[in-house]
Structure 1
Amino acid sequence: MGIAKPFVAVVDDDESVGRAIRRLLHSVGIDADTFSSGDEFLDTLASMPSYHPGCVILDIQMPGINGLEVQRRLAGSGVPVILITAHDDVAVRDQALALGAVGYLRKPFNDSILIKTVQAALGITPSP
């Protein structure tokens, strides 16, 4: 009768970035599912009502539905959102944070900062 292990959804059109984030999170005991588009992630949410990631990491610039639009569609769901981007733009960052993002990280980001941001979003106390 254990508590379900927290997991994160990683949405990035660069599959190598998704895999790297999944491996990084796994190294600290956090499971992650990866999606290569906002459409794929939203389709999974719509088709599997029981699918509830504890946090979503979204790339901002993706073909099709971008990260900000996915964030808008998640509004009110209670799922914490962390946005990542290779193209930092102050207006986009301000918009993301105004929409409730718990983090906004520019690629390449520091691994420990990403881990701490995810742990905070999941309500996990970091290990010393």
Structure 2
Amino acid sequence: MSHAKSFVAVVDDDDSVSRAVKRLLRSIGVAANTFKTGDALLDMLDAFPTYRPACIVLDMQMPGLNGLQTQRQLAGTGIPIIFITAHDESDMRAQALAAGAVAYLRKPFEDEVLIRAVTLAMEPDDGA
């Protein structure tokens, strides 16, 4: 029930978006690390196998790997992914959700919607 050691990885090439999401998460007691690209997040995960965010807030359009490509690289990790994007293309939305994304939010989104998505994504999956 406690998220004391839990944190969220925020991946967005727009610094203002990353800062806003980090500040919003901090307001509900959730720590966040920010990354400018999917490649940077993947490098961190490769370099530090114990680095494991409770969920990832992932932009769709970024330099290098886009959100869908990053999601594919994360397949099998079990880390929930929440997409945020200014480009709400139905085929990308369908691909992201089909590949297991827990939410797909169009920018600008309501703070409460992101908070709810992150809170749900961080809930332990007890399976009981």
Residue 5 (structure 1) shift: 2.4
Secondary structure, counterpart of 2:109 in structure 1 = coil
Counterpart for residue 51 of structure 1: 51
Secondary structure of 2:5's match? coil
Note if contact 2:60-2:85 (Cα within 8 Å) is conserved in structure 1: yes
TM-score by length of 2: 0.93
Q: 1:51 to 1:88 in 2, by over 3 A?
A: same
RMSD across aligned C-alpha pairs, in angstroms?
1.4
Q: Distance in 1 between matches of 2:86 and 2:55?
A: 20
CA distance in 2, matches of 1:65, 1:46: 16
Question: Would you say how many aligned residue pairs link Structure 1 and Structure 2?
Answer: 123
Deviation at 1:103, TM superposition (A): 0.3
Counterparts of 1:79 and 1:98 in 2: how far apart (Å)?
A: 15
2:56 is matched by which residue type in structure 1? Answer: V
Match of 2:65 in 1: 65
* Residue of structure 2 in register with 1:79 after alignment: 79
Deviation at 1:47, TM superposition (A): 0.3
> Once superposed, which parts of structure 1, at least 4 consecutive aligned residues long, lie more than 3 Å away?
none
Q: Deviations over 1:27-79 (max 9, x none)?
A: 00111000011111110000011100000010000010111111111111100
Aligned-pair CA distance for 1:107: 0.1
The unaligned stretches of length 5 or more in structure 1 are: none
Residue aligning to 1:106: 106
Q: Distance in 2 between matches of 1:5 and 1:29?
A: 11
C-alpha separation between the residues in 1 aligned to 2:15 and 2:36? 6
TM-score by structure 1 length?
A: 0.93
